[in-house]
Amino acid sequence: MTAQDQPTALAGNGRRAQLSLFARNFFKHPRMLGSIIPSSPFLVRRLLEQIDWRSVQVIVEYGPGVGTITRELLQRMPAESTLLVLETNQEFVDFLQRSLPDPRLRVVRGSAETVQAELGRLGLPTADYVLAGIPFSTMSATSRESVLTSSLDALAPQGAMLIYQFSSRVLPDLRQVFSEVECDFEPLNILPAKLYYCRP
């Protein structure tokens, strides 16, 4: 292998490791992931188009998995900003801590329901954006309401919660919690995804 080939080979190995870890955990916890492969670039781009990068201080991501969206966030976020990711799966937590050594990133093993406590513990202000791909449709009604209300309370007044799902089951709950909910759709994903942009 030449020196020129090495970065490409390493990138390929890293991508294979991501896909293998994601697929393995899908079969272990299908109700937690919802899809056998990570989000497509089309979905990620459509979701991140909603973010005003000039004013970002704090972004929270729920259920980052192998970091498909996390990486894109870090590429775009200002140097002085912070990305807090909450992940319940220890394998994903370990993978993110190994593969993304970025000083702006805080990886926490925890539930989305504890978002306010984690922001406070880390001395962070309210979030400009909360991103969530966790499967709301498989949660109990109580847990779903708890995550959404905690997210609303964790948002800055001009902030937004950006959600992608494979079911529209969460939509009535979003409309109860948030004053403004915009619906969108990304067909170029496996599975095609419904997107919701929610504002206080």
Average pLDDT of every residue of the chain? 88
Q: How far apart are CA 179 and CA 89, in angstroms?
A: 32
Give me the pLDDT at residue 22, please.
52
| pLDDT class of 43 with cuts at 50, 70, 90 | very high
Closest by CA to 176, choosing from 154, 149, 150, 136, is 149
List of residues 6+ apart from 195 with CB closer than 8 A: 43, 46, 47, 162, 163, 164, 165, 183, 184, 185, 186
Q: Higher pLDDT residue, 23 or 95?
A: 95
What is the mean pLDDT of the segment spanning 10-36?
52
Residue 10 has pLDDT above 50, yes or no: no
Domain count, the chain: 1
Give me the pLDDT at residue 133, please.
95
Containing structural domain, residue 130: 5-199
Q: How far apart are CA 186 and CA 198, in angstroms?
A: 17
pLDDT digits (tens, 9 = 90+) for 71-82: 999 999 999 999
What is the mean pLDDT of the segment spanning 68-91?
97
CATH number at residue 186: 3.40.50.150
Residue 176 has pLDDT above 90, yes or no: yes
The whole-model pTM stands at 0.84
pLDDT digits (tens, 9 = 90+) for 92-133: 999 999 999 999 999 999 999 999 999 999 999 999 999 999
Q: Higher pLDDT residue, 32 or 171?
A: 171
